[in-house]
Structure 1
Amino acid sequence: MSLSLVGIIFVQAYYINNSLKNEEEQFTFNVKKALSFTSKNIEDREFKEYVLKFQDLLDQGVKPDTTAFRELYLKEEGSGSNEKLIYRNSILEENYKLSSSIFDIGLDSINIKKVLSDRETKVLKSSALESNSNLNLDAMMFEFGKLSKGAEIFYDTAYEDLSYRVPIHKRVTKEEIESLLKSKLNEDNIDIDFQFAIYSNDLATKIQSEDFELITESTYSVPVFQNKNDGSNYRLLVNFPKRNVFVQSSIIKMTLLSIIFTSIIIIAYTSALMQLLKQRKISEIKTDFINNMTHEFKTPIATINLALDAIRNPTVITDQDKVLRYLKMIKEENKRMHAQVENVLRISKLERNELNISKERVLLHDIIEDAITHVELIVEDRKGKIKVNLSAENSSVLANETHFTNVIVNILDNAIKYTPESRAPIIDVTTENVGTNILLRIKDQGSGMSKAAQKRVFEKFYREHTGDRHDVKGHGLGLAYVKRIVEDHQGHISVESEKDKGSTFIIKLPLIS
């Protein structure tokens, strides 16, 4: 599944990248097409202007300086036919010498030729040709007229030489270039700002838009005013400052949809994976909880069974002191199991917000001293000591005495349990006033916690395992209960710990006046 998801992402990325390349290629093609269109239109417009100037001069009836007339006859006679074919071609060439001021090229004069053509083809009977009588035409084709304007005007000083001498800013205007480019680009739906310029042999000319900047990766060019050998000294350059934004915007909708749908797939997959991991974790927690609760109940049940077996012994049942001692043992173990069950029930009620916590004005110091009495016998039994330094001048808080006593007992009990058996538990309990709050610190010299464990120590069922699973005592509910009760009292609890050096639990509660 993970491999398929990665494959989908790569395919989407490849498709988007490919689409972007295609859009860039299409953009480049359209821009080059617009440049070619502009270049050709400028050249055609200039050439037509020259032709019209010449034509106007010739149509004004200016007499030629020199005239030449040529006539060509061809006769063809078929061997098996009595028909003759006569072809005549007449050419009239008129030479004009005009002032070059008309074209503003800096020369004294230019020479122009006007060429007229007359062609005639006749098919005659041989007898008619021989008798020199009136010709009877079986067929006659007659054509007379001027040559095309492109062929009509020939220069002694060629068109390229004439235009070459005119400065570029007199041959084309910025407005013309901008209009042609814009119209052609709009046809291809390219509606973005552009800058243009005409360069002559890689040098800027007067023809350029405002703020033109030559940027290699986003500038396109085409030659303009090419000669008959397709060479040119001029290049029209166009630059698109927002080219990348425009190209990317063309696929933005597709990209966004692709990202959205891919994200949905990723979220769905991640959610499913998280659910699987969560279910697995819950299963592990449930198994761990059952195992540890079984372990917690195993010892007291075994102790109760042993005590009952001992009481049933005839030699013991008659000894009242021994019977009372065994009954006390049974009661203590039963009380221990009851406490474990109560812890679980309290957490369950807290989760469902069913635990009714009524608060009243109490002295935190009194609660601390009461909690210490619950564990001091265990500490003394292990040759340990609880050092108390209640230096806070004000310890009045709004709290539930029963639940907050359980909070402190839980922390003290953990301090005892997590002190190695080889060492006597040493616990420091201190208080101090900080502003409008009271701080309670409970410090032990136990096994301590890793950094990772400190982050999760208040989670339900969390216990840091080292070696055998049952080396870690309890069921992981005590500190979760502690945190929940402290927060319900508008307080805050944190832990500072170092591996093999012990832990310090810090509770901050607001004071009341």
Structure 2
Amino acid sequence: MSKRTFVLLILLMTLSLVGIIFVQVYYINGSLKTEKARFRATVNADLNYVSNELGKREVDKYYNEYQNLDTEKKADSATVSQLLIYQQNNNTKETLIFTSSVLEENYKLTSTLFDIGLDSIGIKSIIGTSSTEVYKNEDLTDRDLGESPITRIISSGTISQAQRSAFENAFKALRKTAPIHQRVSENEIRDLLKSTFAKDGINLDFEFAIFANDLRTKVESDGFEYDKDSNYSIPVFTDENKQTPYKLLVNFTNDKEFILSSILWMILLSFLFTLIIMITYGGALYQLIKQRKISEIKSDFINNMTHEFKTPIATINLALDAIRNPKIIEDKEKVVRYLGMIKEENKRMHAQVENVLRISKLEKNELNISKERLNLHDLIEDAITHVELIVEDRKGYIKTFLNAEQTSVLANESHFTNVIVNMLDNAVKYSPEAPEIEVYTENVGTNILLKIKDHGSGMSKAAVKRVFEKFYREHTGNIHNVKGHGLGLAYVKRIVEDHQGYVSVESEKDKGSTFTIKLPLIS
């Protein structure tokens, strides 16, 4: 896969994920708006029911009282008048009929407000003025009431079902002269609202108040706060023309949480599925990048292996061609020399194949590693013998500073010797000049530290982080001045970890590297 195709694929996947998240947010936002509208519609319907019920209850109360009167009292104008007209003074039996429908008694106003000159801002004009006509009960029937339903009720003492509507309209016109707190109580409104909301599943705390001409009345709950944007309102006690100065206002303390809870399951599921998609996308992206890196590493590995095998194969071919030469084949010394070269090159290729097979077996957990009590210093001395001829041939040296007093470890002799050999061989490879290698041991607590230090080319910080990765080799362009295929240190790491140890490296470019192995001691 080309780099351009890879980038395009990632870009398309990212855009798709962003699009899915955007659609989810848009859908949830739309659902939230729908739920808000549904909640408002439900509350408004409930308030409309409460408004109608309050008016109906008031009419029914007086209508039932009238129906329960004796036949004689139904025809008695004074009795009926006391039911239908606001009776102010029971001692004088004088009936007061207000000509204004706006009563100062409705409002939460005290005399102190007027004493300090509040009426200068026109509070009286807001409330309105009212005049009162006083009639003796015996004079009420003589008042010019015309042919109103009330007149017919008083004169006939009876009311038919057909006259019920006219009775209600006449009653409403008369009752609106009474103060609102005498028409309905706070408890009555609260109970009616609570039961009505409960039928629609709205079990929320609420506060309410009745306003008259946009001013507070005495009918309100203690915690009510006016908020134009959050209050729900409905006219109450309307007359036959659907007009009224009164409005019932209601607000909820946690309606937003209630609305949100109705679609909470949808939000949680959307979040969960989106999170799964994001995790899956991240995993897929990680695997794509990882596979791409592995592909690049394997390409480098194949190139390195090809280069590693080309030299010994070419050497073997040249040696065989030389041996086949009639002049050479008669020279036993040269034949032995060429045969030795063939053997050494064959051994090199065999060692490289063995390293690959070791890593493969480690990956599959098929490598059988039996451990026994060993002396780490003995393993170090044995490993040094494998590389000291190469070091001497390059005019270098290996110095040992084996200062650890306790050296017993639980290890596999063959594999751990290979670990030390690989590290020494690595130090030799990355020493452009004569190899200068120092080997240290020391005890730290219940552990023993093995340090192998060289003064070679060192590594960059990026290489230090990845030096123990399988197939990894620091890029040096097409120059193969260092033999290898990136498996030696990966093998070292796996074997050390299998021995419950830890391996690390410190390095600086052009100043060399120090590899440290930490192993637990056994008593």
Give the SS at the match of 1:506: strand
| Pair 1:360 & 2:372 matched | yes
Give the SS at the match of 1:353: coil
Match of 1:428 in 2: 438
Match of 1:509 in 2: 519
CA distance in structure 2 between the partners assigned to 1:259 and 1:293 by the alignment: 49
Letter in 2 for 1:208: S
Q: Structure 1 448/26 Cα, relative in aligned 2: closer, same or farther at 3 Å?
A: farther
Match of 2:151 in 1: 115
Cα deviation for residue 363 of structure 1 reads 0.9
- Percent identity among equivalent residues? 58
Match of 1:72 in 2: none
- Alpha-carbon RMSD across the aligned residues, in angstroms, is 4.2
Give the SS at the match of 1:161: coil
Q: Structure 1 329/468 Cα, relative in aligned 2: closer, same or farther at 3 Å?
A: same
Match of 2:221 in 1: 208
Match of 1:339 in 2: 351
| Pair 1:444 & 2:460 matched | no
Give me the TM-score of the superposition, normalised by structure 2.
0.71
- Of 169, 173, 179 in structure 2, the residue corresponding to residue 163 of structure 1 is 179
Q: Structure 1 171/478 Cα, relative in aligned 2: closer, same or farther at 3 Å?
A: same
Q: Are the counterparts in 2 of residues 224 and 236 from structure 1 also a CA contact under 8 Å?
A: no
Match of 1:100 in 2: 88
CA distance in structure 2 between the partners assigned to 1:94 and 1:378 by the alignment: 128
| CA radius of gyration, larger in | 1
Q: Are the counterparts in 2 of residues 100 and 110 from structure 1 also a CA contact under 8 Å?
A: no
Query: Which structure has more strand as a fraction of its residues?
Result: 1
Match of 1:195 in 2: 206
**Contiguous gaps of at least 5 residues in structure 1:** 66-92, 119-143
Q: Structure 1 295/219 Cα, relative in aligned 2: closer, same or farther at 3 Å?
A: farther
Q: Structure 1 146/25 Cα, relative in aligned 2: closer, same or farther at 3 Å?
A: closer
Q: Are the counterparts in 2 of residues 465 and 472 from structure 1 also a CA contact under 8 Å?
A: no
- Of 239, 251, 273 in structure 2, the residue corresponding to residue 238 of structure 1 is 251
**Contiguous gaps of at least 5 residues in structure 2:** 1-11, 97-102, 106-130, 155-161
Letter in 2 for 1:100: Q
Letter in 1 for 2:38: Q
Match of 1:130 in 2: none
Letter in 2 for 1:484: R
Give the SS at the match of 2:441: strand
Q: Structure 1 64/341 Cα, relative in aligned 2: closer, same or farther at 3 Å?
A: closer
Query: Which structure has more helix as a fraction of its residues?
Result: 2
Q: Structure 1 115/344 Cα, relative in aligned 2: closer, same or farther at 3 Å?
A: same
Match of 1:410 in 2: 422
| Pair 1:182 & 2:194 matched | yes
Q: Structure 1 473/207 Cα, relative in aligned 2: closer, same or farther at 3 Å?
A: farther
CA shift digits 1:458-479 (9 cap, x unpaired): 2322233243374664222212
- Of 263, 266, 275 in structure 2, the residue corresponding to residue 251 of structure 1 is 263
- Of 14, 17, 24 in structure 2, the residue corresponding to residue 12 of structure 1 is 24
Cα deviation for residue 388 of structure 1 reads 2.4
Please, which moves more after superposition, 228-237 or 293-302?
Answer: 228-237
Q: Structure 1 40/506 Cα, relative in aligned 2: closer, same or farther at 3 Å?
A: farther
Q: Are the counterparts in 1 of residues 453 and 512 from structure 2 also a CA contact under 8 Å?
A: yes
Q: Structure 1 54/391 Cα, relative in aligned 2: closer, same or farther at 3 Å?
A: same
Cα deviation for residue 297 of structure 1 reads 1.2
- Of 457, 465, 487 in structure 1, the residue corresponding to residue 475 of structure 2 is 465
| Pair 1:496 & 2:506 matched | yes
- After superposition, residues 222-371 of structure 1 pair within 5 angstroms as 222=234, 224=236, 230=243, 232=245, 235-241=248-254, 243-259=255-271, 280-312=292-324, 322-371=334-383
CA shift digits 1:277-317 (9 cap, x unpaired): 56555544443332221111112222233344445556655
Q: Structure 1 351/152 Cα, relative in aligned 2: closer, same or farther at 3 Å?
A: closer
Q: Structure 1 380/221 Cα, relative in aligned 2: closer, same or farther at 3 Å?
A: farther
Please, which moves more after superposition, 359-368 or 470-479?
Answer: 470-479
Letter in 1 for 2:382: D
Cα deviation for residue 404 of structure 1 reads 0.4
The number of residues matched between the two structures is: 450
CA shift digits 1:442-467 (9 cap, x unpaired): 23344444444444332322233243
Q: Are the counterparts in 2 of residues 429 and 443 from structure 1 also a CA contact under 8 Å?
A: yes
